[in-house]
Amino acid sequence: MSPQSPDPNQAFIPPPPPSPYGNSPYPPDVLASKAAVVASDVKSALILAIIGLFCAGFILGYLALRKANEALETIQIYEVAQDKKSLAMTARIIAIVDIVGWIVVLVLRFTFFNR
């Protein structure tokens, strides 16, 4: 197949200009603020999840799970703070352990230790 030459009667349409923000469709100040929000959410989620291991596991585990999920969603949407993704996943796993542990302790409390 031979490449076709452009039609001389057709008007030239230039390509769209490149984004002034690099590869991201968001301005740098928005990305910076979202990165700060992610860092704060990950820190809060990790603290809540670790404290939830020792007391109020269901409540703090749920709060940690929500914070970790919000941070992971922001990381995915805005593609910022990729270095915080592993901490958010860790907080999410610990939060799930908090919730499941609380449920197991509650079931054991009312089945075996109720006598």
> Of 47, 36, 38, whose CA–CA distance to 91 is shortest?
47
Q: What is the pLDDT of residues 22-48, one digit of tens each?
A: 677 888 899 999 999 999 999 999 999
Q: Give 9's pLDDT tier (boundaries 50, 70, 90).
A: confident
CA nearest to 42, candidates 92, 99, 115: 92
Give the SS3 label for residue 23: coil
Contact 96/65 with Cβ under 8 angstroms? yes
DSSP structural state of residue 84: G
Q: What is the pLDDT of residues 49-100, one digit of tens each?
A: 999 999 888 899 999 999 999 999 999 999 999 999 999 999 999 999 999 9
Which sequence spans correspond to the domains of the chain? 28-111
